[in-house]
Amino acid sequence: MHELHGVVTATPTPFTTSGEVDEARFRELIRWFLTSGVHGISVAGSQGEFYSLETAERLRLIEIAVEETDGRVPVYAGTGAVSTRDSVALTRAAESIGADVAMVITPYFVSPSPAELAEHFRQVAAATTLPVLLYNNPPRTGVTLVPADLSALGGNVVGVKDSGGDLTVAIEHMLNGALLFSGRDTITLALLLHGAAGAISPAACVFPRLLVRMYDEARAGRFEQARAISDALAPLRRAWDLGSFPVVIKEAMALAGHDPGPARAPIAPLSPSGRAALAEVVERIQKIESELL
């Protein structure tokens, strides 16, 4: 079994200009991430536009990721859904394909109570032998995963990916026994210093080697060097305001030479002024990267 740690790419789903999944480009991206030294590949998550994917597309992405990683790093498969029934089915399918981790976002649109949410996760965990990583992303789902003892949810519920941006909540997850992965790049370093296992990172899709370097520096206790990288990457997160999620990371990747294509409608490309502003951010980070690596 793989150790779950380090820099995991919040991999985008490449689409053609007509909106179809671009399987060849997806394979190219995974190969590039692997050569860049990442410790895991996450597919069909929020940055992967899981909400816009048909079930067959979602499972095909997991299948391709399993093929391309070929056991070298774990594949974190997004298997969350609005209903428990659908999330169970997706998780079972991901396990049969060969994924290494089920990443299960809280149900969205509906507003389950804490008891309902706990029962949802218990049923999903009971349906698989995979390690289950709960995914907390209140800004996107409107549902907050309250820190709690994970042992009550099943022994294979191992941790939390937290994209809420609240450092206190994330630390409380860890104090309650969770293996914690940061989903918010601007606080990843802080969480690593508090004992987080790693990050499932959008920024790693644009600058994977830089994120891996930051992780290595932090683990080695070279905090000044790690902080310099974290500070250099911070403007990329601020640049999210230039467009609608998740197009900014996709366009930043294109500017950096690894184009995953457009976001699916209704999300539109950046305006010319937005793209120009993003290009400045990417170029500044690339300059810093060239100095460090």
Q: What is the DSSP code string of 209-269? A: HHHHHHHHHHHTT-HHHHHHHHHHHHHHHHGGGGSSTTHHHHHHHHHTT----PPPTTSPP
| 222-270 confidence digits (pLDDT tens) | 999 999 999 999 999 999 999 999 999 999 999 999 999 999 999 999 9
Greatest Cα-to-Cα distance within the chain, rounded to the nearest angstrom = 50
Please list the active-site residues.
Answer: 135, 161
CA distance 198 to 22: 28
| 114-139 confidence digits (pLDDT tens) | 999 999 999 999 999 999 999 999 99
Helices 55-69, 84-97: axis angle to 10 degrees equals 30
Alpha carbon 221 to its chain centroid, in Å, reads: 25
Query: Are 33 and 72 contacting, i.e. CB atoms less than 8 angstroms apart?
Result: no
Q: What is the DSSP code string of 118-129? A: HHHHHHHHHT-S
| 175-203 confidence digits (pLDDT tens) | 999 999 999 999 999 999 999 999 999 99
Q: What is the pTM of this model?
A: 0.97
> The domain at 6-221 falls in which architecture?
Alpha-Beta Barrel (3.20)
CA distance 165 to 190: 11
Where are the domains positioned within the chain?
A: 6-221
200: annotated binding-site residue? yes
The b-or-e profile of 214-229 (16+ CB within 10 A means b, else e) is bbebbeeeeeebbbeb
Residue 283's pLDDT is what?
A: 98
CA distance 26 to 22: 6
Query: Are 206 and 251 contacting, i.e. CB atoms less than 8 angstroms apart?
Result: no
Q: Specify the amino acid at residue 53.
A: L
Average pLDDT, the chain: 96
Place of tokens 């990843």: 188
| For the chain, percent of residues with pLDDT exceeding 70 | 100
